Amino acid sequence: MTAPAHALTPTAPRTPYVYRRRALEEPDWTRFPGWRAVTAAEWRSAQWQRSHCVKSVRDLRALLGDLLDTCVYDDLQADQDKQATMSLLIPPQMLNTLMPHARPAGPGSLSEAFRTDPVRRYMLPLASDRHPDRPSHPMAARDSLHESEMWAVEGLTHRYPNKVLAELVSTCPQYCGHCTRMDLVGNSTPTVAKTRFTLRPADRTEAMLAHLRASPGIRDVVVSGGDVANVPWPRLEAFVDRLLDLDHIRDIRLASKALVGLPQHWLAPDVLDGLHRLAARAARQDVSLALHTHADAAQSVTPLVAEAARAVLAAGLRDVRNQGVLLAGVNDSAEALLDLCFALLDGAGVMPYYFYLCDMIPQSEHWRLPLGRAQELQSELMGHLPGFATPRLVCDVPYLGKRWVHQAAAYDRVTGISRWEPSTTGARFTDTGDTGEFLYYDPLHTLPPEGRRWWDRHTA
């Protein structure tokens, strides 16, 4: 199915990145009409943030009024009605990082800044963002990583030999348009009826723990969802406590984009008190307890995010790490990625860890980058950050798992098909369905004309 790999095309030299330490900024939320009366105490309240999320175009219009042209609202509504794989749910904290330097100056004055904002591009997709001819790759899939096929029990993905992913909840405090778990997470949209867990939460948790007790070869548990910030704290603490009862579990990672989108949650006294208890026990048992978050643009890393990250570290967690996604128009330049990495590292004490190629979910072609561009970006990052803080750019290959972008065994730049080899210590689950190979595919609109014609012939 693949053709011989083609040589790299020489690219023009780029302007060298110049490091300058930049102070983090918390934009003034009162610049938006709907938040003019919001107090600092309300803004710091997780409960206020959750209850004032933007959940619809009508909510956004109530916040911004005529600062956006009507055609922008119509564009957003058209996407929600016909193409969106995720419903709208954005906390004020995240929404406030849009257009941080734009100042309202009358009707329509924020329209252009809104359309071009990098955070807007993935949190509030517009119909006009989607690729007009090829919005989805022919090989796209709702569960693009086939995680549900790898459930040892419902919600417990056992893809790798010694680590598992525990999905405790199928909701988040905010929904990213490019969500890799769009098949399961969030509310159904007009075009996507979501898969649902069938077991009650308590029964699902018991089944997970039973599998872990019976599997002494597992040492690493990622506790995720959805987002663990949507798990009531007593339930989350009890689950992690029971993981700590298992002597063979040596690494526990809590996954929460809410550190960036809703830092108020992680600053809540009951959450920090609980983290202190868990971290103290983990330290006594020499278990690594860490938090993984998800920031894609430097402007999302604000002083409040930094305060929450440092509070989590002060509670005793070993590390806070960032796992972002490479997205066209958001962070597809070395400058944007380095700005983000330095904001995380210098400003918030968060370790840049991974940047994933956007997974092959439906309606994602306009976000996805070709593998060759990711390889260039990895090379462009080298030498700017300390080695321990240089993020790895990875492709999460369906059925196989994470691979560094330079690990492709073969890469045809005409068809955009890359082939990946399993290793002796790689993925536990190796059933590739009908293909018999581990393949990833570049977005079709980035291919040369002969590559697009090849796909037209093979998908007619």
pLDDT at 6: 39
At 357, which helix (H) or strand (E)? strand 351-357
pLDDT at 15: 77
pLDDT at 433: 61
From CA 203, how far away is CA 154, in angstroms rounded?
Answer: 10
pLDDT at 234: 97
pLDDT tens-digit map of 155-208: 999 999 999 999 999 999 999 999 999 999 999 999 999 999 999 999 999 999
pLDDT tens-digit map of 376-413: 999 999 999 999 999 999 999 999 999 999 999 999 99
From CA 139, how far away is CA 440, in angstroms rounded?
Answer: 9
Q: Is the peptide bond before 226 cis (omega within 30 degrees of 0)?
A: yes
pLDDT at 24: 97
Catalogue the E-assigned strands of 175-255: 220-224, 251-255
Q: Is 278 left (phi over 0), alpha (psi -120 to 50) or beta?
A: alpha
Q: Where are the alpha helices (DSSP H) in 96-199?
A: 111-116, 118-123
State residue 332 phi and psi, 5-degree precision. -90, 30
When pLDDT is cut at 50, 70 and 90, the band that residue 429 belongs to is low
Are 430 and 401 within 8 A, CB to CB?
Answer: no
CA neighbor of 322 nearest in space, from 337, 347, 344, 300 = 344
Question: How does DSSP classify residue 129?
Answer: G
Are 129 and 79 within 8 A, CB to CB?
Answer: yes
pLDDT tens-digit map of 338-380: 999 999 999 999 999 999 999 999 999 999 999 999 999 999 9
Q: Average the pLDDT over 212-235 and give the result.
A: 97
pLDDT at 432: 67
Q: Where are the alpha helices (DSSP H) in 139-298?
A: 201-213, 233-244, 258-261, 263-267, 269-284
Are 23 and 438 within 8 A, CB to CB?
Answer: no
pLDDT at 423: 75
What are the CA-CA distances from residue 237 to residues 233, 268, 445 (Å)?
A: 6, 14, 46
Are 394 and 407 within 8 A, CB to CB?
Answer: no
What's the pTM?
0.94
Are 296 and 256 within 8 A, CB to CB?
Answer: no
Sheet holding 438-441, edge to edge: 410-412, 417-420, 438-441
Bridge partners of 401, per DSSP, are 397
At 283, which helix (H) or strand (E)? helix 269-284
Kindly tell me the burial class for residue 456, based on how many C-beta atoms sit within 10 Å of its own C-beta (0-12, 13-18, 19 or more): exposed
pLDDT at 66 over 70: yes
pLDDT at 116 over 90: yes
pLDDT at 267 over 60: yes
Residue 89 in tokens:
């749910």
When pLDDT is cut at 50, 70 and 90, the band that residue 242 belongs to is very high
pLDDT tens-digit map of 278-289: 999 999 999 999
Burial 236-271, CB ≥16 within 10 A → b, else e: bbebbebbbebeebbbbbbbbbbbbbbbbbbbbeeb
* Mean pLDDT computed over every residue of the chain: 94
Output the furthest CA–CA distance in the chain (Å, rounded): 63
pLDDT tens-digit map of 94-105: 999 999 999 999
CA neighbor of 218 nearest in space, from 226, 227, 208 = 208
pLDDT tens-digit map of 291-334: 999 999 999 999 999 999 999 999 999 999 999 999 999 999 99
Report the percent of the chain where pLDDT is more than 90.
93
pLDDT at 448: 98
From CA 109, how far away is CA 89, in angstroms rounded?
Answer: 24
Q: What Rg, from alpha-carbon coordinates, does the chain have?
A: 22
Bridge partners of 325, per DSSP, are 356
CA neighbor of 160 nearest in space, from 251, 264, 231, 84 = 251
Question: How does DSSP classify residue 9?
Answer: P
From CA 34, how far away is CA 234, in angstroms rounded?
Answer: 34
From CA 414, how far away is CA 2, in angstroms rounded?
Answer: 9
3-class DSSP state of 90: strand
When pLDDT is cut at 50, 70 and 90, the band that residue 9 belongs to is very low
From CA 393, how far away is CA 457, in angstroms rounded?
Answer: 32
The H helix count followed by the E strand count for the chain is 16, 13
Residue 179 in tokens:
């969500």
Q: Which residue has the tokens 């918030």?
A: 348
pLDDT at 36: 97
Q: Which residue has the tokens 């110049």?
A: 18
CA neighbor of 225 nearest in space, from 213, 239, 245, 212 = 239
* Cα dihedral sign, 186-187-192-194: positive
Q: Average the pLDDT over 39-55 and give the result.
A: 98
pLDDT at 16 over 90: no
When pLDDT is cut at 50, 70 and 90, the band that residue 7 belongs to is very low
